Copies of this chain bind each other. A is one copy, B any other.
């Protein structure tokens, strides 16, 4: 389906040519035939001068649709708005869906926001003021207020008339929310049920009163998982007194799932992978903080080995296995970290004692098998079974500890309210280097007499 992207690029060039040649009628016709996603991509890719002409020939409704479909960062969209007069931009904002407007205003300076809001009708401005307040990554930040609300006294026919009248304004027409005079949500009617029941039937007969609703403070990931499980196209958001506030639609949830996935992946890698198209300097800047922080953690491992320098000069063979033991333990720790982070994300949390017991068991199982393997390899290779034993035992212990750390650290972070997904594989590897080296040299010391330098 890559052709689609290529097509958009070709169309951008063609459409820009039409504008350049002042063939504006043709341009407008061709542009409006496109899907709003394509319109948005093209609008964004045009040169500012061309965009200036386009702004002049599209209606406010048409421009609002383009702006609703822009997938860029809110900051980039707000720059596009600044290409228009504040009054014009406000007209566009007024015709956009409130969730998108709130995202954009949320990234602006306070005085810019004040300008736009002062130019809006008072009610709209107040509504937006409230939406901007919701924290990022919550249900509140995702909600739009363009939903279909009907009276509990309606009949199916009346509800249908209402849908027909409002269809073009609503974010979704698949659900109608039944709201009483106190603005409390009493139930949901699906458009499917509306279509398959006779006009005279009271709406109450097909209202589902067992409604699953989100609250504005709910974590967006929880909302996403509920909508995924229930296959909902939209979810109502209510306050704690059950007043209807807005809806969250599935297209926003698709973006949330994508975002959360990229952020978990970034966390595990210890680098933000979400912005890929940047200069080497910017890329280096993004990667350095973790690397330098871990360099200092790595220094503790170095200074620990430094304590054992005398031991190493007596038995240089010990140096041979440092990276093997720290590496393998680090790998096991990374695996256990990833599993733990996933478990937390899926709410599959077990009591602490059970996690510790399980992870020690897994660690010992992996450790014993890996330990025996390396015992045999080293025993045969160096023809020294004591050395093999020292390496094997160290490996086993180091893996068990790394495994436990990989599980407990994200759990602990989650307990104190830090997103466990930021605990990266590199962090666990570097931390487990320290414990592995400590374990290795402590055990090696016991067996020392068996592998002092033979030269």
Q: Min CB distance, A271 to chain B, in Å?
A: 4
Other-chain contact of A196, B167, B295, B370 (Cβ < 8 Å): B167
Q: Which of chain A's residues 116-156 have a Cβ closer than 8 Å to chain B?
A: none
| Most chain B CB neighbours (cut-off 10 Å) among A260, A284, A336, A425 | A425
Beta-carbon contact of A362 and B280 below 8 Å: yes
Q: Min CB distance, A196 to chain B, in Å?
A: 5
Other-chain contact of A228, B255, B305, B334, B369 (Cβ < 8 Å): B255
- Give the oligomeric copy count: 2
The stretch of A46-54, A72-80, A261-269 that contacts the partner chain: A261-269
Set of chain B residues within 8 Å of A168, measured between Cβ atoms: 192, 196
Beta-carbon contact of A370 and B295 below 8 Å: yes
Beta-carbon contact of B265 and A426 below 8 Å: no
**Consensus secondary structure, chain A interface:** helix
Set of chain B residues within 8 Å of A409, measured between Cβ atoms: none
By beta carbon, the residue of chain B nearest A210 is B33
Query: Known contacts A291-B332, A295-B324, A455-B313; is A276 also within 8 Å of B370 by CB?
Result: no
By beta carbon, the residue of chain B nearest A427 is B331
Other-chain contact of A366, B4, B269, B287, B362 (Cβ < 8 Å): B287
* Chain A 419-451 near chain B by CB (<8 Å), digits 1 or 0: 000000110011001000100000000000000
A195 to B35, alpha carbons, bound, how many Å?
A: 20
A191 at interface, CB cutoff 8 A: yes
Other-chain contact of A266, B5, B163, B270, B338 (Cβ < 8 Å): B338
A301 at interface, CB cutoff 8 A: yes
A110 at interface, CB cutoff 8 A: no
* Chain A 324-340 near chain B by CB (<8 Å), digits 1 or 0: 10111011101111110
Set of chain B residues within 8 Å of A373, measured between Cβ atoms: 292, 295
Other-chain contact of A326, B195, B229, B323 (Cβ < 8 Å): B323
The 7 lowest CB-CB distance pairs between A and B, nearest first, are A269-B338, A261-B261, A313-B316, A331-B426, A319-B319, A284-B365, A271-B335
List 13 additional contacts besides A266-B338, A273-B338, A288-B370; criterion CB under 8 Å: A233-B250, A257-B258, A265-B265, A268-B425, A270-B331, A270-B334, A271-B338, A280-B361, A284-B362, A291-B331, A292-B370, A295-B370, A302-B323
Interface residues of A, Cβ cutoff 8 Å to B? 1-2, 4-5, 33-35, 37, 69, 71, 163-164, 167-168, 173-174, 191-192, 195-196, 210, 212, 214, 218, 222-223, 225-231, 233, 250-251, 253-255, 257-258, 260-262, 264-266, 268-271, 273-274, 276-277, 280-281, 283-284, 287-288, 290-292, 294-295, 298-299, 301-303, 305-306, 309-310, 312-313, 316-324, 326-328, 330-332, 334-339, 341-343, 346-348, 358, 361-362, 365-366, 369-370, 373-374, 377, 381, 425-426, 429-430, 433, 437, 453, 455
Interchain Cβ contacts under 8 Å between A and B, 23 examples: A1-B225, A4-B226, A35-B230, A167-B192, A233-B250, A257-B257, A257-B261, A268-B425, A270-B335, A273-B341, A274-B342, A287-B332, A287-B336, A288-B369, A295-B328, A302-B320, A305-B323, A306-B317, A309-B320, A316-B319, A323-B323, A330-B330, A334-B426
